[in-house]
Amino acid sequence: MWGNVRGRGETPARASPTGFPELKNDTFLRAAQGEETEYTPVWCMRQAGRYLPEFRETRAAQDFFATCRSPERCCELTLQPLQRFPLDAAIIFSDILVVPQALGMEVEMVPGKGPTFPEPLKEVEDLLKLRQKVDVAAELDYVFKAITLTRHKLEGKVPLIGFSGAPWTLMSYMIEGGGSKTMAKAKAWLYRHPKASHCLLTLLTEVIVDYLVGQVAAGAQALQLFESHAGHLGPEQFAEFALPFIQSIAKQVKSKLQKDALPAVPMIVFAKDAHYALEDLAQSGYEVVGLDWTIRPQEARQRTGKSITLQGNLDPCALYAPKEKIGELVKRMVEGFGSQRYIANLGHGLYPDMSPEHVGAFVDAVHMHSRHLNKSQ
């Protein structure tokens, strides 16, 4: 199943793989599309990650981006958490920084330090060093291959989520040259060079649109856009340098999917720490809004209305609590959001020192409490 199939019978404008195994658990897709579900579906950001011993083994002594370029290894890492937990979705193993690489920038993963750009953007003139027309099909073919392979190997167990970083978050890495506490260099561009910033964000938007459409063509059944650095912007900068591009991505992806007779997959926007923009995000063209843990479920519901699905938002650090306590926190969270039009997740990714057993307790608690809540209503 392709989720919500549109344009069936039309000749696809691009050759997409077909003949994927039939989807057995569509709970996540149903919740994302606002349909009724028997229980609340659940997945975890960074579910394929270092907290799993089998992940550390597969990744051991391998360069991170070499791993990203191996469809077989990406497929294996994507499937690992599903072998342990009854998760309702898989997310393709990759990284948001493959997009700056496609634009011609070098990015290395330095052990103990994280992603590093040896030559970040410093001056406005550096923009000219970027590829102005990116052949996404060629540059990011390895991600598309990983998605197609994983879709087959999933055997229809659960849907596969594709993703991209959002323009502002990618821009901030390209200027900072890696992680940063303040984002001062990237924010200086916004204040000093607003026009050049708009040019860069527009270029990124074009690449991201083709990248996301390509992921659906390859077999992705939902898409998540990560605006992980939204919290560094205030309401005004978000309105100028993030929201218009986030909106444009949803609009363009949807229209290209339709034009190419590809499935109309649900789209999720996760803008971390951007509560000030919650109303706008709920109307930005995405079926699902992802939330971090710093907002109450009831408040998020009130501010976003009934026609949107919410995703989130347990504090990842709650997984350090004893298992009974995790159960209590999950119960409160599910009651706060309500069991419908809701996808349970953490408010951000899992950390490497978290216990797989506690991740399992989180997943089980979501299923159990949402079934109870459904019955009692």
Query: Which residues sit at the interface with ligand 1CP, rule CB under 6 A?
Result: 45-50, 59, 64, 91, 93, 95-97, 109, 114-115, 163, 179, 226, 228, 349
For the question of residue 26 being annotated catalytic, the response is no
DSSP secondary structure string for all residues of 184-211: HHHHHHHHH-HHHHHHHHHHHHHHHHHH
Query: Among 73, 95, 276, 371, which one carries the catalytic annotation?
Result: 95
DSSP secondary structure string for all residues of 303-358: HH-TTSEEEEEE-GGGGGS-HHHHHHHHHHHHHHH-SSSEEEEESSPPPTT--HHH
In angstroms, the Cα distances linking 134 to 104, 143, 244 are 9, 15, 21
Q: Return the number of the residue (68 or 373) whose C-beta is nearest ligand 1CP.
A: 68
- Cβ atoms within 10 A of the Cβ of 272, count? 19
Q: Which residue is nearest to ligand 1CP (CB)?
A: 179
Q: Return the number of the residue (183 or 262) whose C-beta is nearest ligand 1CP.
A: 183
Q: Report the C-alpha gap between 218 and 143 in whole angstroms.
A: 9
Q: Report the C-alpha gap between 326 and 322 in whole angstroms.
A: 6
Task: State the minimum distance, in angstroms, from the CB of residue 305 to ligand 1CP.
Answer: 26
Task: State the minimum distance, in angstroms, from the CB of residue 200 to ligand 1CP.
Answer: 18
Q: Return the number of the residue (212 or 373) whose C-beta is nearest ligand 1CP.
A: 212
Closest CA to 354 of 317, 327, 324, 326: 317
Q: Return the number of the residue (176 or 373) whose C-beta is nearest ligand 1CP.
A: 176
Task: State the minimum distance, in angstroms, from the CB of residue 338 to ligand 1CP.
Answer: 26
Task: State the minimum distance, in angstroms, from the CB of residue 115 to ligand 1CP.
Answer: 5
Task: State the minimum distance, in angstroms, from the CB of residue 50 to ligand 1CP.
Answer: 5
For the question of residue 50 being annotated catalytic, the response is yes
Query: Among 6, 50, 73, 296, which one carries the catalytic annotation?
Result: 50
Q: Report the C-alpha gap between 212 and 224 in whole angstroms.
A: 9
Q: Report the C-alpha gap between 350 and 85 in whole angstroms.
A: 14
For the question of residue 173 being annotated catalytic, the response is yes
For the question of residue 141 being annotated catalytic, the response is no
Query: Among 51, 173, 286, 342, which one carries the catalytic annotation?
Result: 173
Query: Among 59, 69, 151, 341, which one carries the catalytic annotation?
Result: 59
Q: Return the number of the residue (47 or 340) whose C-beta is nearest ligand 1CP.
A: 47
For the question of residue 332 being annotated catalytic, the response is no
Task: State the minimum distance, in angstroms, from the CB of residue 10 to ligand 1CP.
Answer: 32
What burial class does residue 217 get, using C-beta atoms within 10 Å of its C-beta: 0-12 exposed, 13-18 middle, 19+ buried? buried
Q: Return the number of the residue (338 or 349) whose C-beta is nearest ligand 1CP.
A: 349
Task: Give the CA radius of gyration of the chain.
Answer: 20
| Tokens encoding 74 | 């990406």
Number of residues in the chain: 377
Question: Which positions are annotated as active-site residues?
Answer: 46, 50, 59, 95, 173
